[in-house]
Amino acid sequence: MKVAIFPGCIAATEQYACELSTREVLRELGVEVVEVPGFSCCGWPLQNVGTVGWVYLAARNMALAAEKGVPLITLCNVCNRMFYEAKFLLTTNSELREKISSLLKEEGRGPLDGVEILHPLELFHDRIGVEEIKKRIKKPLKGLKLAAHTGCQAIRPRKLRSIDDPEYPKKLPSLIEALGAQSPHYPEALDCCGAYLFYTRKDASLTLAGEKVEAVQNWGFDGLVTVCSSGHRMLDGRQDAAATTIGKALNLPVVYYTQLLGLAMGLAPEKLGLQLNRSPVKNLLEKIG
Amino acid sequence: MVGITDQLRATKPQPDLVDRFYKVVEKLKLENPFHCYQCFKCTSGCTSFRLTEIMPHSFVNFVRLGFVEDMMRSELLWACCQCLKCKERCPQDVAPVDVIFLLRRMTVSSGAEIPEDLSKIIMNVTETGFIQGIQKVKVGETSVDREQLGLPPITLPNLEKFSSVLMKAMEEQIE
């Protein structure tokens, strides 16, 4: 299987552990990564100011991947939704479609259609499969209890595409359990990380992140598992700032699913970028041994 | 947010803005806000409500009653965290989040300012392709870049061309 990786702004410029661990585990699983030069932002921030601008950005990125003819894996839930939303608008609105087509031609970009967008959960759960992942485990994560954070933008709205159940997502927990750990449901599983509010209401944004981490911590989980660079930046990267905002002590290890999968497949923590996590992942690594 | 009785005393509905609003709703195939029967399901499950007092059902209601400009001017327009629960759960298939985002775009196209940090990342996208520059990140006492971590370099688009086409796209307003 061949795929291209769409890192999105946050993984490309800051959350390097996300891309690093994804590349490492894909190599280990025999999935070839095709490089695509010229990617830009998916268009998300521009959605606040107009429609044509953001759809153009989403379309140009999809066109770049379409030229390579491989599925595009999104490392950020927001990018995933923007691509699906752009696809919807381009198929239902001929006026917009014409505008975007001519803009793409102006930038010298190819086809408007044809790229398959894949969320990491779909890749690991639906394509590679839980059974196949179980076979690759060299170091089962026995005795660990890990909370799954699927993230809002991956599962809603159901009408756009259905990566998982929007009210009771089960794929990430089952992928965590495939590694030998437990991942029970918890009441705050659907709570938002606050990423989207960071640029307009910083305090509320950090409060959401802090309260999510605090809740997971209070349930006695050994750590929190993410599949999105935006959400991870809030829950791991900004955990200290969130703790200050809510005035609580937070010390919950937060890891990408790809980091966890890599560890269970016996890869070294540095190869998976665990030295880049800001939360106390040491505690978790010690438990894994 | 202001109550409907106070609202009716304070201003009059704005039919021209209502027209503009519904034209975009039609163009973008958004769910029709007029189908809302004010069950409050959106607000009761709203992530931001508890922290910012934003009430999605209220945005929809005021727009239905024609007070588009008042909602465009509301500071709470920028308090939505886009968790999309309101869009997912609405029994009438109305999407309050889409109403809020459409109002944001109408506000911007009528020349209003947008929150500073948001404006900054939008500027970065138009000039550099990403919301922020490619950073060095801390590992202990030192800082490392993509290359030192063994990641392939980011090949940016041809920025001159990228920016000029993007600016052109952004000028093509639907809102």
Confirm whether the ipTM is greater than 0.90.
yes
Average pLDDT, chain A: 97
Residue A258 has pLDDT above 90, yes or no: yes
B169 interface with A at CB cutoff 8 Å? yes
Contact yes or no for A233/A14 (Cβ under 8 A): yes
Residues of B in contact with A107 (CB under 8 A): 157, 161-162, 165
3-state secondary structure of A80: helix
Give the integer Cα–Cα distance in Å for B60 and A173. Answer: 36
Report the gap between the CA of A267 and the closest CA in chain B (Å): 15
CA angle B69, B71, B74 (to 5 degrees): 115
Write out chain B residues lying below 8 Å of A9, CB-based: 125, 130-132
B156: enclosing H helix or E strand = none
Instruction: State which residue of chain A sits closest to B50, comparing Cα positions.
Output: A204
Model confidence pLDDT, tens digit, residues A34-93: 999 999 999 999 999 999 999 999 999 999 999 999 999 999 999 999 999 999 999 999
Q: Which residue of B has its CA nearest to A194?
A: B81
Q: Which of A257, A261, A266 has the alpha carbon at shortest distance from A236?
A: A257
| Both tokens assigned to B37 | 């029967």
Mean pLDDT across chain B:
94
Name the minimum distance, in Å, from the CA of B60 to any CA of chain A: 18
Confidence of residue B3 (pLDDT cuts 50, 70, 90): confident
Report the residue from B82, B146, B169 with minimal CB separation from A196. Answer: B82
Say if residues A45 and B118 touch (Cβ distance below 8 Å).
Answer: yes
Quick: pLDDT tens for A181-196: 999 999 999 999 999 9
A61 chain-B contacts, CB cut-off 8 A: none
Contacting residues of A for B127, CB less than 8 Å apart: none
Most A CBs within 10 Å, among B143, B151, B173, to test the A interface: B151
| pLDDT, tens only, B69-105 | 999 999 999 999 999 999 999 999 999 999 999 999 9
Give the model's pLDDT for residue A221.
98
Sort out which chain A residues have CB atoms less than 8 A from B165's CB and list them. Answer: 56, 103, 106-107
Which residues does residue B142 pair with via DSSP β-bridges, in sequence order?
B139
Chain A contact for B109, CB < 8 A?
yes
C-alpha to C-alpha distance for B100 and A149, rounded to whole angstroms: 26
- Token duo for residue A115: 């790229």
> Averaged over A244-269, what is the pLDDT?
98
- How far does Cα A221 stand from its chain's mean position? 21
Residue whose C-alpha is closest to residue A224's, from A156, A168, A144: A144
Task: Report CB contact under 8 Å: A40, B129.
Answer: yes
Smallest CA-to-CA distance from A231 within A217, A250, A212 is with A212
Partners of B168 on chain A (C-beta within 8 Å) are: 103, 106
For residue A2, report the phi and psi dihedrals to the nearest 5 degrees: -120, 140
Q: Cα-flanking dihedrals φ and ψ of residue B144, to 5°?
A: -125, 155
**Measured between CB atoms, does B8 come within 8 Å of chain A?**
no
Q: Quick check: A46 and B125 CB within 8 A? A: yes
Task: Decide: A234 and A226 in contact? Cβ < 8 Å.
Answer: no
B110 has a chain A CB within 8 A of its CB = no
Interatomic CA distance for residues A192 and B129, integer angstroms: 27
Question: Is the Cβ pair B137, A14 closer than 8 Å?
Answer: yes
Interchain CB distance below 8 Å, B168 and A106: yes
**Confidence grade of residue A111 (pLDDT, cut at 50, 70, 90):** confident
What stretches of B14-95 show up as alpha helix (H) in DSSP? 15-27, 41-44, 49-52, 56-64, 68-73, 85-89
Whether the per-residue pLDDT at B115 is higher than 80: the answer is yes
Tell me how far apart the alpha carbons of residues B109 and B128 are, in angstroms, rounded to a whole number.
23
